[in-house]
Structure 1
Amino acid sequence: MSYGLGAYKKTSIHTASKEQILLMLYQAAIKSCKKAIEAIGEKNIPAKGEHIGKLQDIVIELNNSLDFEVGGDIAKELSSLYDFILFSSTQANIKIDAEPLEGCLNVLTTLYEGWGEAIKTLRKESAQKEQQGA
């Protein structure tokens, strides 16, 4: 990676909102999952392990960031989905099988799209409140 791109990425992470960081984590998890599926298809075992490891690191971080007091049932449901992803990706790694990763990819994509829509809605509502208060 060139210095400029690395510096840009580092700056974008440090200046991102919590919502943007959440979406970036999901994007990175989806990318790692797709690369792991690709690596299995190419029978590239070292790359498979590397990408599944990255996927799992991100999912563990997402799971660790859950606040069960504030999030309640939603946090519990997310934790269950993250557990599913960790279990399925481990099975894919052990069995060298892309099918469990397809399930992970579906869950991650659905969560990413859902969070994206929720964030848009919150921003829209916040902007409307600001206009009404002005």
Structure 2
Amino acid sequence: MAIRNPYSGFNQYKQNNIMTATPQELTLMLYNGAIKFVNQAILFIEQKNVQKSHNAIMRASDIIIELNATLNMDYEISKGLRPIYDFLVEKLTEANIKKDKKILEEILPIFTDLRDTWKQAMELAKKK
């Protein structure tokens, strides 16, 4: 008798959400993922788990690097986002090297502001 993975249904649901999401929804998912990984990194630093904190910070950093790489510089907003993304990657790197949760706590509001602003923009766009 085969053992069934209890998470397989949930994983399939997540995969379907990603595959059917609009580019705007994918960006929102990325912001949410970055926030999740920064929060995890803070927790892992508190627990003195160097490897897990490193992994979480790297995942948050990878998300921001991807968002930065895919900016369409034809739009004025992209020119404003680029230095913010560069700053976040720099601070994530510094936090990772020092294993400093204070740095992560200082930049976490930037992540949430970006996510919340993006969410508002999506809602405004739907009304048009």
- 2:37 is matched with 32
Q: Check the 8 A contact 1:66/1:75 in 2, yes or no.
A: yes
TM-score (norm 1): 0.88
2:111 pairs with 93, 108, 116, which one? Answer: 108
Q: Which runs of 5+ in 1 are unaligned?
A: 126-134
Where does residue 20 of structure 1 map in the other structure? 25
Q: Report if the CA contact (8 A) 1:33-1:104 is conserved.
A: no
Residue in 2 that maps onto 1:95? 98
Q: Considering only aligned residues, what root-mean-square deviation do their CA atoms show, in Å? A: 1.1
- Return the letter of the residue paired with 1:22: T
Q: What residue is the counterpart of 1:63 in the other structure?
A: 68
Offset from partner CA, 1:66-123 (integer Å, 9 cap, x none): 0102x13x21211111111111011111111111112321111000000111110110
Percent identity reads 37
In structure 2, distance between residues paired with 1:14 and 1:58: 17
Structure 2, unmatched stretches of 5+, are 1-5
Which structure carries more helix by proportion? 1
Q: Which runs of 4+ in 1 moved over 3 A?
A: none
TM-score with structure 2 length normalisation? 0.92
